[in-house]
Structure 1
Amino acid sequence: MAVERFLGTRAQRSFIATILFQTVAVLVMVAIVFRLVEDHVDFNTSRYKTIPCYLALFALAEIFEILLALDALRLRNVIQLAGILLFHGALIVFAALQIHETKSALSKAEDDCQGNINCNGVLWRRVQPYLIVAPCVIGVSWPVLMFFVRELYFEFGWAIFHVVGANPKMKTMYQYYQIMVCLLKFNFFCFIGVSMQMLILVLSSSSAEFGITIAAVPVVVFLLVACAVAVQREIKWLMSISLVLMLAAEAYCIYKLVRFYEPSSQAQYLSTRATLTFFTITSFLLLFATFAVGLRCFADFDKGLQYSKVYGSGQSSYTPVKQPLQDLSEETSTDGMNMGQRQSSYVGGSHLQPRISIE
C-alpha cells in the first residue's frame, strides 16, 4: 500500500484549510483590536503595554500552529496531529484570558477620565466583540479538526510501518521518539511566550532578573536543539546533559510561580499574572512530560532504531527505508534471488523471511 503524497488527499487539504481559515479570521480580529486601541491610547504607557504584547503573542501562536500542522502532514506524524488538537484547546483558554487582560488594561477609574473615548469603558465596549469572536472561531474549528485528524489517523497508519516495519517493539519505541520531538516543539513555543511577557511587560532593563532572562534564552534554545539531536542520533552524554537541564528548568518554573504570588513581588506581576501563570504552569507540565518521555527514549538507545530515526522520518518521497547493504547481502532466498529485491512495498525496513517451496 502506497503512502499518499504531501497534501495529496482530501483529509490533508481539509485539515490545513481549516487551520488557515481560522488563522486568517483570528488575525483579522487581532488587527482590528490593535488598530482601535492604538488610535486612543499610548502603548508606551506601562498599563497599556500588555495589549500589543498579548496580541502579538496570540498572532505568533496562530502562525506557529500553521507551521506545526504543515510539519505534521509532511512527516505523517499522527502524534503531532494529536498535539495540535491539545494546542488548539490551549488557544481557546489563551483567547479567553486575553479578553480578561485587555479589559483590565483598558479599565480606568472615574477620576482618571478626562472626556476621552476610554472613559467609562467606551473603548472596551468597542473592542469587546472582536475579542469574543476569536475564541468562538477557534472553538468552532476544534471539532472540525478532530474529525479530520481521525481520518488522517487511518491514512497515516502506514507511515510508521514504512519506517520501522511490522515489529511491535520497534513501533512502540518509534512512537515514543515522535512524542519526544513533538514535546520539544511545544516547549519552544511556551518558552518564547513566557520570555516575551517577562522582558516586555514585567522586568526593568536595569534589573538583574532581566539580564538572567536574556541569558536564559540561548541556554534554553540550546537545550531544546541539543535534546532533539541527542534523541535522534542517540548521543548518550548529550542526552544526559539535556535531562539534567530540564530538571533545572522545572525548578525555575516553580520559582517564578512563587514570585508571581508572594507579597514582596506580586505587585510587579499584577497586570500580567493570569497569562504568565497559564504559560508557566503549561511549561512546567510540558517539561515534566518531556523529561519522563526522554528517560524512556534514553532507555531505547542502541536497540536498532537509530537508522530509522535518522533516515526514516522526513523523507519527501515517503518510500520505505532501505536497510544497509551489509544487511541486505546476508539474506538470500533458496533459489538464489536476493531477498532485498523481494521486499514488500509496505514493510519498510523489515525483510520477508525465506519461503520454502513444496515443488
Structure 2
Amino acid sequence: MVYRPKTFWSWSFLLIALVESLIVLAFEGYVFAKFQNNLVDRDDRIANGVNNDFQYPQERTIPTYLTLFIFGHLFMLFMVYDALRLKNTIQIIGLCLFNVALLIYAAIQKDQIKEADQYLKTEGARALVDKEGVWKAIEPFLIAIPCVLALGTVLLSVVCWKLYDEFAWTIYKHISADLRMKRRYLTFQIFVALLKFDFFFFLGFTVQFLVIVLQTNDIEFKLTIVVIPLTVLFLLAAVWATRRENRILMSGVIVIFLASLAYFLFKLIRMYTDKTRVNDYMPARRSLTSFAVITILLIVVTIVNAVVCTLNFGKGLKPHITKSTIEDGDEKHPMTDMNPHMAQPMSTRMEID
C-alpha cells in the first residue's frame, strides 16, 4: 500500500522538499541549456584554426552539476518519503543537513562555472559562441539557486522541529519506557540513515571524478565503474548484518568502511599533489573536495556507529527491528519499524538486562 502523509506537518515537509526541488531543477535546466547552446562544435573549432578536437574538462562541468542536482533532489524526495513513512526522526534531521550540503555545493558551483566560462572563451580555446552574454544570462540563476536552498533549509528545519515532537510518541509506544533500549534503537536508526547518505555522497564524488577527471581509456575509470554496483551490495549487506545481528559480517563491514576511509583520504590528497593531472582536477577540484570531505566525515561517524551497533548485539533489540508491521497496521516498514507485539511494557528481565 502506498504511504500517504497523515498530518499537516508531514504534508508540509513533503511539499517544501518538492517545491524546492522543482525550482532548483528548473534553474539548473536553464543554465545547462544556455551554456550548451553556446558551445562551439569541435569541428568548427578546427575550421577556425583552433587545433583541438577533444572536449575540455571545463565543458563537462555544467552537465555534471545538472546531473548531480537531478540525482540529489530525486534522492532527497525519496528520503523525505522514506523518513515520513518510517517516522524516522533521525532521517528527518539528516535531510535538513543534506539540504545544507546541497547549499554549499550550489555556492561552489557558481565560482567553478564562472572559471569554466572564462577559460572556454579565451583565444586558446574559443569554445563559446556568445562570449559576453552567456555568463550575464546564467549568473542570476546561479545566485538564486543557493538562496532557494537556504530558504528551503530554514523551512524544513522548522517543520523538522514539529515532526520531532510528533514522531517521539510513536517511538515511545514501540519501545515503552526502557531508556537503554531506546538508545539502542536510536543507534540503529542513525546507522541505517547514515548508510543511505553514504551512498549519495560516494556516488556524487564518483560521478564527478569519472566524468570530469578520468579518461575512458584509464584503467582507474574501469575499476571505478565496477565499484559502484559493489557499493550498493555492500550497503545492503551492512543493513542486513545489523538487523540480523551477524557479528562476522558486521566485522567485515567495518573493515571495508576503514578501507573506504583510506581510499577517500588518498583521493583527497592526490587532488592537491598529483602534478601530472592538475589541469584535469582544476575544473571540479573545489566540488570534489567538498564531496570528499563530507564523505570522509560520514564514513568516520558510520564506523563509530557500526561499532556501537555491534556492541548492542544480543541485548534485546533484534525482535524490535526484524518485524515490519507498525501498531496501526496501515503500512509496512521493512527498514526501521518495530514489532507491534513489542509495544507491550518490557518485562522485568529486559529492564534488568
Matched to 1:118, the amino acid is D
Q: Residue 234 of structure 1 contacts residue 302 of structure 1 at CA under 8 Å; is this kept in 2?
A: yes
Q: CA deviation at 1:314?
A: 6.8
Stretch deviating more after TM superposition (122-131 or 36-45): 36-45
Say which structure is richer in helix. 2
> 2: CA distance between counterparts of 1:98 and 1:286?
22
The Cα offsets for residues 172-231 of structure 1, whole Å up to 9 and x where unpaired, read as 000000000000000000111011111111111111211221222233222211111111
In structure 2, relative to structure 1, the CA distance for the partners of 1:153 and 1:267 (3 Å cut) is same
Q: Which of 91, 97, 105 in structure 2 is aligned with 1:80?
A: 91
The Cα offsets for residues 237-275 of structure 1, whole Å up to 9 and x where unpaired, read as 111111000000000011101110003433331111111
Q: Which of 245, 248, 266 in structure 1 is aligned with 2:259?
A: 248
Q: CA deviation at 1:42?
A: 5.2
Q: CA deviation at 1:312?
A: 5.1
When the two structures are aligned, how many residues end up with a matched partner?
325
5+ residue gaps in structure 2? 42-53, 332-336, 349-353
Structural RMSD (CA): 2.3
What is the 5 A alignment of 1:125-274? 125-262=136-273, 263-274=275-286
What is the 5 A alignment of 1:3-152? 6-41=4-39, 45-46=55-56, 47-108=58-119, 110-112=122-124, 117-119=129-131, 121-152=132-163
Q: Residue 65 of structure 1 contacts residue 84 of structure 1 at CA under 8 Å; is this kept in 2?
A: yes
Q: CA deviation at 1:32?
A: 1.0
In structure 2, relative to structure 1, the CA distance for the partners of 1:203 and 1:307 (3 Å cut) is same
Q: Which of 323, 337, 345 in structure 2 is aligned with 1:350?
A: 345
> 1: CA distance between counterparts of 2:103 and 2:325?
31
> 2: CA distance between counterparts of 1:37 and 1:188?
30
Q: Residue 320 of structure 1 contacts residue 349 of structure 1 at CA under 8 Å; is this kept in 2?
A: no
In structure 2, relative to structure 1, the CA distance for the partners of 1:313 and 1:53 (3 Å cut) is farther
Q: Secondary structure at the match of 1:350?
A: coil
Q: Secondary structure at the match of 2:6?
A: coil
Q: CA deviation at 1:351?
A: 5.2
The Cα offsets for residues 18-68 of structure 1, whole Å up to 9 and x where unpaired, read as 111111111110111111112111597222111101111012111111111
Match in the other structure for 1:317: 330
Q: CA deviation at 1:115?
A: 11
Q: CA deviation at 1:117?
A: 4.1
Q: CA deviation at 1:313?
A: 7.1
5+ residue gaps in structure 1? 324-346, 354-359
Q: Secondary structure at the match of 2:123?
A: helix
Match in the other structure for 1:303: 315
> 2: CA distance between counterparts of 1:114 and 1:351?
72
TM-score, with length taken from structure 1? 0.85
In structure 2, relative to structure 1, the CA distance for the partners of 1:95 and 1:165 (3 Å cut) is same
In structure 2, relative to structure 1, the CA distance for the partners of 1:117 and 1:313 (3 Å cut) is farther
> 2: CA distance between counterparts of 1:13 and 1:351?
33
Matched to 1:11, the amino acid is W
Identity fraction in percent: 32
Q: Residue 118 of structure 1 contacts residue 124 of structure 1 at CA under 8 Å; is this kept in 2?
A: no
In structure 2, relative to structure 1, the CA distance for the partners of 1:352 and 1:216 (3 Å cut) is closer
Q: CA deviation at 1:310?
A: 1.5
In structure 2, relative to structure 1, the CA distance for the partners of 1:165 and 1:40 (3 Å cut) is same
Match in the other structure for 2:48: none
In structure 2, relative to structure 1, the CA distance for the partners of 1:352 and 1:218 (3 Å cut) is closer
Q: CA deviation at 1:350?
A: 2.2
Q: Secondary structure at the match of 1:31?
A: helix
Q: Secondary structure at the match of 1:270?
A: helix
In structure 2, relative to structure 1, the CA distance for the partners of 1:211 and 1:114 (3 Å cut) is closer
Q: CA deviation at 1:111?
A: 2.5
